Chains A and B, each alone.
Chain A
Amino acid sequence: MEFSFEGLKPPSSKPLIGMLCSYTPEEILYAAGLQPVRIYGSGKVIKRGDAYLYSTLCPYVRSIFDLAFEGHLDDFKNMVFVNSCDAMRRLYDVWRHYIKNDFIHILDVPRTASEDKLNYYVQQLRDLIRRLEEELRVDITADSLREAIRLVNHTRQLFQELFELRKKDDSNLWGSQIFPIMLASMSSPKESFNQRLEQYIKEISRTEPQPSETPRPRLLVSGSIIEQAEFIKLLEDSGARVVAEDLCTGIRSLEGMVSEEGDPIEAIALRYLNRPPCSRMKGVERRYQSIKHIIEEYGIHGVVYHTIKFCDPELMTYPLIRKELERENIPVLHLEGDCTMGSHGQFKTRVGAFLEMLEY
């Protein structure tokens, strides 16, 4: 059963707004009548971008700047940044200076969900709304926010159904098949995407699961951002089945609903600060608990921990997570990538040996 990606392009009737971090509250952007689109890197060697950002900075960030500098992101007249990490803030700095936009904003997302941080974040969201209203001459009402919340929640609800299917022992869904759908969910208009996903889930639940030829180890891929489905395919071509992705382009960004009751802005703030965290959030314990939860729920045999070169938050988190996983006897393989396919040849031997050592 194939998911059809055709015609999921954003409509030309709506102005685009680019986002680079899964902590960007899409609900507010939809409520403003904008079309939010998650921007992915080129996966290619960085050209001119390297002259403006130092080369020991996150390759995802450098690739994005390269794309913008080369004019590939000219359709994005509006941009929302998040102070996700230091590299992302540097991107905002050079972007503001060299790239022309109608609207550019950086959102200060706190690193914990304590009450004072929550109040602060609500204030940040109100500031974003005020700026959007004033500068783009739009109205963001409680009603339009509620409608946007329902829309984005629907996407999350549908993914939850899909994840339930992946959790089954006899699931014959491939990670390399599901992963591009998750990528698309963050860069397509939710209205048409939701219809497409609903249809897809209906069709795959109708087809009887066929027992796979030989048993395969079930993997969890953990890390920050992975933009290339080829990476997931490499793991599966080596003999695994990828059943969960603890990535900002994976399940952790699609979990947790925004409450449809009460003040919509507070509800949005609550969801984003409490969703499964990435390594930019404070406290490794929360991250580890969410990984452990996935391991139990999805019947994981091994974890592939993917870090991006020079990603300080992720490289700091990894040894702590590894220690916890080893204590629970969960095998983990660390791979370091640079957002291109350049390392994939080297990965093959490591992945092959890792799968050979797993018990399943």
Chain B
Amino acid sequence: MIVAGVDIGSLSGETVILSDDKILSYSIVRTGADSALTAKKATDEALKNADISFEDIDYTIATGYGRVIVPFANENITEISCHAKGANYLFPTVRTILDMGGQDCKAIRCNEKGKVTNFAMNDKCAAGTGRFCEVMADVLGIALEDIGKTSLEAKKDAMISSACAVFAKSEAVSLLRSGVPKSEILSGVHEAIASRVFALLQRVGIEGDFVISGGIAKNIGVIKKVAEKVGLKPLISEEPQIVGALGAALFAKERYKKG
């Protein structure tokens, strides 16, 4: 049995292909304006990596913000359930998940089966999201993948008083103009993000084990700050960006078996 999970987020799209319980292949592509096209691109790439054809897939579940516009999916399930499912597969002891995505953040609680028991999402606000990190990297002229590492060089945090992406951007610009090192600004930005997501986590309550998924899990600067606040060492998979798509694929397997 071969199944696929497709996660169409606001900034990136991922496809995971499972053969029974094994991850056959995956792909990560940037989301364009057309969600259906992104889904196709991501899936084609994953198929290529697995060296199989579209006809080999028995069942597909779509998730993420663009889940309803994946034309070839059999069903769709929200990314909240999928992240819990995916995290539970990777770390069966997980009880709390922080998903830090492109345009939103979610704190999710789940039981031993990976079923969601409670969750909280950020409101209409980009603070603490991938988009926020992108904006900051752009302001400071540092590649997105380097901001985590750079921030670790800071001796202290620059004071970023606002977690609002728009305000924080202008704060970062003025700090930069007044000669504050980039590493300190980034460290301050990461502190602001961590405070924000910590508040979100507190809304659902934190119980170990604790997993961070989503693209920001690749930012070592943010992870360090979040870990300090939470007081638990976060578990992060090798590729945290595909946890949602993996969850969708696991649901696809269950639904296909049920018929």
Residues of chain A touching chain B, judged by Cβ–Cβ distance below 8 Å, are: 331, 336, 343, 346, 349-350, 352-353, 356-357
Set of chain A residues within 8 Å of B118, measured between Cβ atoms: 331, 357
B210 lies within 8 A of chain A by Cβ: no
Once A357-B115, A357-B116 are accepted as A-B contacts, the answer to whether A352 and B78 lie under 8 Å apart by CB is yes
Complex-state Cα separation, A331 to B118, whole angstroms: 8
Asked whether, in the complex, the Cβ of B116 is within 8 Å of the Cβ of A356, the reply is: yes
Closest to A338 in B: B124
- From residue A109, how far is it (CB to closest CB) to chain B in Å? 33
Complex-state Cα separation, A212 to B164, whole angstroms: 46
Set of chain B residues within 8 Å of A331, measured between Cβ atoms: 118
Asked whether, in the complex, the Cβ of B78 is within 8 Å of the Cβ of A353, the reply is: yes
Q: State which of B65, B116, B123 has its C-beta within 8 Å of the C-beta of A353.
A: B116
Closest to B123 in A: A336
Asked whether, in the complex, the Cβ of A349 is within 8 Å of the Cβ of B124, the reply is: no
Set of chain B residues within 8 Å of A346, measured between Cβ atoms: 123-124
Can you pick out 29 interface pairs between chain A and chain B where the beta carbons lie within 8 Å of each other? A343-B124, A346-B123, A346-B124, A349-B65, A349-B78, A349-B79, A349-B80, A349-B121, A350-B121, A352-B77, A352-B78, A352-B80, A353-B78, A353-B79, A353-B80, A353-B81, A353-B116, A353-B119, A356-B77, A356-B78, A356-B80, A356-B81, A356-B116, A357-B81, A357-B115, A357-B116, A357-B117, A357-B118, A357-B119
Closest to A355 in B: B78
- From residue A348, how far is it (CB to closest CB) to chain B in Å? 9
Closest to B116 in A: A357
A331-B118, A349-B79 given; 10 more Cβ-contact pairs under 8 Å: A343-B124, A346-B123, A346-B124, A349-B121, A352-B80, A353-B78, A353-B119, A356-B78, A357-B116, A357-B119
Closest to A350 in B: B121
Complex-state Cα separation, A350 to B107, whole angstroms: 12
Complex-state Cα separation, A336 to B124, whole angstroms: 11
Set of chain A residues within 8 Å of B80, measured between Cβ atoms: 349, 352-353, 356
Closest to A356 in B: B81
Complex-state Cα separation, A353 to B78, whole angstroms: 6
- From residue A214, how far is it (CB to closest CB) to chain B in Å? 13
Set of chain A residues within 8 Å of B123, measured between Cβ atoms: 336, 346
Complex-state Cα separation, A356 to B80, whole angstroms: 9
| 1/0 contact string of B110-126 vs chain A (CB within 8 Å) | 00000111110101100
- From residue B122, how far is it (CB to closest CB) to chain A in Å? 10
Complex-state Cα separation, A349 to B115, whole angstroms: 16
Complex-state Cα separation, A294 to B119, whole angstroms: 25
Set of chain A residues within 8 Å of B81, measured between Cβ atoms: 353, 356-357
- From residue A237, how far is it (CB to closest CB) to chain B in Å? 11
Set of chain B residues within 8 Å of A352, measured between Cβ atoms: 77-78, 80
Closest to A354 in B: B119
| 1/0 contact string of B75-101 vs chain A (CB within 8 Å) | 001111100000000000000000000
- From residue B214, how far is it (CB to closest CB) to chain A in Å? 14
Closest to A346 in B: B124
Complex-state Cα separation, A331 to B119, whole angstroms: 11
**Among B77, B78, B81, B118, which residue has the most Cβ atoms of chain A within 10 A?**
B78
Complex-state Cα separation, A352 to B123, whole angstroms: 16
Set of chain A residues within 8 Å of B79, measured between Cβ atoms: 349, 353
Complex-state Cα separation, A36 to B127, whole angstroms: 46
- From residue B207, how far is it (CB to closest CB) to chain A in Å? 15
- From residue A239, how far is it (CB to closest CB) to chain B in Å? 11
Complex-state Cα separation, A100 to B75, whole angstroms: 56
Complex-state Cα separation, A91 to B121, whole angstroms: 33
Complex-state Cα separation, A43 to B81, whole angstroms: 32
- From residue A324, how far is it (CB to closest CB) to chain B in Å? 16
